[in-house]
């Protein structure tokens, strides 16, 4: 009985925060939202669309760092709750401050995104910009948040105090397909800081992860490790709960990734642990070494 009362109290708090979120959204009309198709931005866009109707527009930033499958999934999800969404090409790879892959790479990505969103807002008369930062994100190192502050981009989920767990709960209640989706950062996150981000590297990562996914894996990463001008090495990290499937598929995965262009595949024996560590630096690869990033 005590557990039931606790669950009821948690649900009550989440719903009170949801009411606050809707008030915040109604105070910023019309609204332009950065939409990625992830858990947070999907929930934000869905609630904004339900609250504001045609007075909200989602913007998907499209560049080589966004997998085609993720783009198509985001568009299909937005269509399922009748949200207005537009695709906007971004050119962060042409900015050496981004492509050189510093530890604050995400700042320059968001700088590009918010600069273009601000132009759209000015041209079309949107009152505000918003993105999907939640209340938990304030406790993490997130370089992109600095760009959001500079452009005065609203974080309605954070302002309403909604945590990731509450967003997942409310998404589940609303029937959103992203309620239990794993985190899926951009493809550039697979490249250690200090190694240049290029369209060719991103394409190799995307093709490799598409193949691994086709083998039945759901939560994993293919990391791109390069040094001294040699062909890159792929480091495969699979969720510990899925590791038992790997031995029977490892040979095919290895052959596929070598055909894509990697010179070697190393399997991380510790598996994938989310979230991936931030701030890792590139080192020359030794196939016999245990890698931590």
**Chain segment 8-59, per-residue pLDDT in tens:** 777 899 999 999 999 999 999 999 999 999 999 999 999 999 999 999 999 9
Pick the CATH number of 2-174 from 3.90.1170.40, 3.40.50.620, 3.60.20.40, 2.60.40.420: 3.40.50.620
Q: Where do the domains of the chain lie? A: 2-174, 187-267
CATH code of the domain occupying 187-267? 3.30.300
Average pLDDT over residues 64-68: 97
Average pLDDT, the chain: 92
Residues paired with 85 in a beta bridge: 58
Pairing status of strand 233-238 against strand 220-225? antiparallel
Residues paired with 223 in a beta bridge: 235
Q: Which two tokens stand for residue 202?
A: 């991103």
Q: Residue 145: pLDDT above 50? A: yes
Q: Give the sign of the dihedral formed by CA 93, CA 96, CA 102, CA 105.
A: negative
Name every residue whose Cβ is closer than 8 Å to that of residue 209 and which is 6 or more positions away in sequence: 67, 187, 220, 221, 222
State the Cα–Cα distance between residues 220 and 217, nearest whole angstrom: 7
- Residue 172 has a pLDDT of 96
Closest CA to 135 of 155, 167, 153, 162: 162
Say yes or no: do domains 2-174 and 187-267 share a fold. Answer: no
- Residue 228 has a pLDDT of 79
Which of 73-77, 121-125, 137-141, 153-157 has the lowest average pLDDT? 137-141
- Report the b/e string of 159-189 with b at 16+ CB within 10 A: ebebbeebbbbbbeeeebebbebeebebbbb
Q: Residue 284: pLDDT above 60? A: no
As a dihedral over the C-alpha atoms of residue 216, residue 221, residue 283, residue 247, rounded to 10 degrees, the angle is -20
Average pLDDT over residues 153-161: 98
Query: Is residue 210 reached through a cis peptide bond, with omega within 30 degrees of 0 on the bond before it?
Result: no
Other Cβ atoms closer than 10 A to 73: 17
Q: Residue 223: pLDDT above 60? A: yes
Q: Residue 79: pLDDT above 50? A: yes
Closest CA to 265 of 280, 250, 245: 250
């Amino acid at each position: 009985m005590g557990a039931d009362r606790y669950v009821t109290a948690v649900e009550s708090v989440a719903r009170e925060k949801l009411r606050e979120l809707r008030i915040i959204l109604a105070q910023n009309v019309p609204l332009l939202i950065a939409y990625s198709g992830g858990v947070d931005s999907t929930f934000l866009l869905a609630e904004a669309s339900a609250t504001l109707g045609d007075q909200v527009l989602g913007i998907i930033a499209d560049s080589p760092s966004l997998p085609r499958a993720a783009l198509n999934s985001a568009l299909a999800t937005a269509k399922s709750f009748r949200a207005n969404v537009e695709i906007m090409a971004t050119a962060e790879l042409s900015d050496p401050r981004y492509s050189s892959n510093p530890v604050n790479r995400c700042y320059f990505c968001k700088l590009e995104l918010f600069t273009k969103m601000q132009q759209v807002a000015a041209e079309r008369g949107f009152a505000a910009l918003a993105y999907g930062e939640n209340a938990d994100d304030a406790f993490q190192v997130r370089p992109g948040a600095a760009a959001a502050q500079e452009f005065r981009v609203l974080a309605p989920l954070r302002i309403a105090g909604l945590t990731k767990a509450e967003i997942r709960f409310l998404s589940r209640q609303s029937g959103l397909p992203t309620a239990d989706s794993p985190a899926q950062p951009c493809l550039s996150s697979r490249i250690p800081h200090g190694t240049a981000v290029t369209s060719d590297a991103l394409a190799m990562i995307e093709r490799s992860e598409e193949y691994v996914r086709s083998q039945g894996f759901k939560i994993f990463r293919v990391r791109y490790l390069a040094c001294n001008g040699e062909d890159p090495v792929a480091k495969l990290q699979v969720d510990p709960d899925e590791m038992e499937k790997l031995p029977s598929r490892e040979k095919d995965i290895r052959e596929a990734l070598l055909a894509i262009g990697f010179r070697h595949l190393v399997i991380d024996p510790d598996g994938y642990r989310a979230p991936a560590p931030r701030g890792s630096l590139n080192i020359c690869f030794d196939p016999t070494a245990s890698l931590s990033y």
